[in-house]
């Protein structure tokens, strides 16, 4: 199908494109920008007047509890590829499970599913999974989700093994012992509200350990969901030393702090926890300067598991449909220009993944998001396609609404 996306503001951060133009799609790929390609006969026109046309968003963390609803939610949020952590039930530690997931995703035909394989069997942090087999079945990298690997020797061996094959390992840096009893950032709010705290040291000790092991093995590591200023500082040092370490930040951590717990709002329970204002500012700076990519950390949680006392509620919030408006909100508040902000959720994630996508040069796969940056909508349970209605933003107005999403040149969402 030949598609013309007309009169939008085309922003392609990777290729430094930002202009009013029309975009042309043929045979599932970007055919041209600006001028109608030779021999191009338009089958379908999408009117992008007043809209931004950008690469489809690549979300580095989205849990798919009920895969159909969540993949529909993804494209409703402009997300065309998403990385799935391996901590579903059962954990993704067998090639067959990865195979099934990838196939199911392809069947549904909406957002592209990029599974992370479980680094260890059952995510127990002891025995390695069949990494090569999982890779063959479609896993893009290997991860322990948000569980710590307590046994440092096991982690060292896993990194050595992964390096052998050139595989990347994704780890959430959180020391097991310092975080196992905590439910909130150890700081003013936790002291006042009597909530067991997780100190920043839980993150920095884990990062330091991982960085040292990367120095020794050369393993490619991606650190997920950084939450502290001190953590960012360690990562910047690692970058300075040329280590193959990347990182991402959950979009909620760019906007919220421990103060948003308010009167014990369980919607403000996250893992890692929302930290202090100075942490948030450092995270924001890291995202603005390209030290970190931004992701949604989409975690759908049912009311029965969320509407509980703070310490009992499951951590996490719905993310796929708010990744875009929250990124725009952050960009406006912190005076980050639009192309830079969009880069963090398109080309930067693509780079982390080592994928060819995340941009709109001719020949690229036509994964495209068309959105109205001025459209206001209210976040209510009904407004979400995701089964996860859990959000600290419920009832708030969002700015930025997806009008159309294409994956591989097919229109998979239209508002």
Stretch near another protein under the rule CB under 8 A, chosen from 200-208, 237-245, 309-317, 319-327: 309-317
Contact 298, 63 (CB under 8 A): yes
Nearer residue to another protein within complex by CB, 109 or 177: 177
Among 186, 248, 321, 372, contact with another protein (rule: CB under 8 A): 186
Among 19, 103, 157, 192, contact with another protein (rule: CB under 8 A): 192
Among 242, 309, 335, 395, contact with another protein (rule: CB under 8 A): 309
Among 37, 133, 244, 311, contact with another protein (rule: CB under 8 A): 311
Nearer residue to another protein within complex by CB, 109 or 302: 302
d(CA 54, CA 197): 40
Among 42, 106, 150, 308, contact with another protein (rule: CB under 8 A): 308
CB atoms within 10 A of CB 176: 14
Stretch near another protein under the rule CB under 8 A, chosen from 115-123, 162-170, 195-203, 397-405: 195-203
Q: How far is the CB of 259 from another protein (least distance, A)?
A: 10
Closest CA to 111 of 401, 369, 297, 361: 369
Inter-axis angle of helices 201-217 and 229-240, nearest 10: 20
Nearer residue to another protein within complex by CB, 37 or 199: 199
- For residue 265, how many C-alpha atoms fall within 13 Å in the half-sphere facing its CB? 17
Q: Among the options 12, 297, 367, 372, which is catalytic?
A: 297
**Does position 191 bind another protein by CB under 8 A?**
yes
Q: How far is the CB of 263 from another protein (least distance, A)?
A: 5
**Does position 198 bind another protein by CB under 8 A?**
no
Closest CA to 331 of 277, 374, 370, 284: 284
Q: Quick check: is 12 catalytic?
A: no
Phi, psi of 378 (to 5 degrees): -100, 135
- Strand 368-378 vs strand 397-407: parallel, antiparallel, or unpaired? antiparallel
User: Per DSSP, what are the bridge partners of residue 370?
Assistant: 53, 404
d(CA 294, CA 388): 20
**Does position 193 bind another protein by CB under 8 A?**
yes
Closest CA to 143 of 381, 352, 411: 352
Residues 238-277 contacting another protein, CB under 8 A:
262-264, 266
Residues 163-182 contacting another protein, CB under 8 A:
181
Reported as type and span, the H/E element at residue 411 is strand 410-414
Query: Interface residues with another protein (CB under 8 A)?
Result: 181, 186-188, 190-197, 262-264, 266, 304, 307-312
Active site residues: 297
């Amino acid at each position: 199908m030949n598609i013309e996306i007309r009169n939008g503001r085309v922003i392609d951060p990777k290729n430094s494109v930002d202009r009013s133009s029309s975009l042309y799609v043929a045979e599932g790929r970007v055919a041209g920008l600006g001028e109608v390609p030779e021999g191009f006969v338009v089958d379908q026109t999408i009117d992008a007047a007043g809209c931004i046309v950008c690469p489809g968003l690549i979300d580095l963390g989205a849990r798919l509890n009920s895969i159909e609803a969540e993949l529909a939610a993804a494209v409703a949020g402009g997300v065309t590829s998403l990385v799935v952590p391996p901590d579903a039930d059962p954990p993704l530690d067998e090639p067959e499970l990865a195979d099934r997931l990838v196939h199911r995703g392809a069947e549904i035909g909406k957002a592209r599913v990029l599974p992370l394989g479980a680094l260890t069997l059952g995510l127990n942090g002891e025995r390695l999974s069949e990494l090569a087999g999982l890779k063959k079945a479609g896993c893009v990298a290997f991860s322990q989700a948000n569980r710590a690997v307590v046994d440092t020797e096991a982690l060292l061996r896993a990194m050595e093994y992964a390096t052998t094959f050139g595989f990347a390992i994704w780890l959430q840096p959180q020391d097991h012992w310092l975080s196992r009893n905590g439910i909130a950032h150890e700081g003013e709010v936790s002291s006042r509200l009597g909530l067991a705290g997780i100190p920043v040291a839980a993150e920095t000790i884990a990062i330091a350990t991982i960085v040292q092991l990367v120095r020794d093995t050369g393993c490619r590591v991606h650190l997920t969901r950084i939450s502290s200023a001190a953590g960012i500082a360690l990562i910047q040092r690692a970058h300075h030393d040329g280590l193959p370490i990347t990182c991402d930040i959950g979009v909620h951590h760019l906007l919220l702090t421990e103060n948003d717990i308010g009167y014990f709002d369980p919607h403000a329970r996250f893992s890692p926890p929302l930290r202090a204002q100075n942490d948030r500012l450092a995270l924001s700076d890291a995202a603005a300067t390209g030290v970190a990519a931004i992701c949604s950390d989409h975690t759908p949680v049912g009311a029965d598991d969320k509407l509980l006392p703070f310490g009992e509620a499951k951590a996490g919030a719905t993310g796929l449909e708010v990744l875009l408006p929250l990124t725009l909100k952050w960009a406006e508040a912190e005076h980050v220009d639009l192309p830079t902000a969009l880069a963090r959720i398109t080309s930067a994630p693509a780079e982390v993944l080592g994928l060819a996508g995340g941009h709109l040069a001719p020949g690229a796969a036509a994964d495209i998001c068309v959105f109205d940056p001025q459209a206001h909508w209210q976040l209510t349970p009904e407004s979400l396609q995701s089964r996860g209605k859990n959000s600290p933003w419920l009832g708030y107005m969002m700015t930025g609404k997806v009008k159309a999403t294409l994956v591989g040149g097919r229109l998979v969402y239209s508002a």
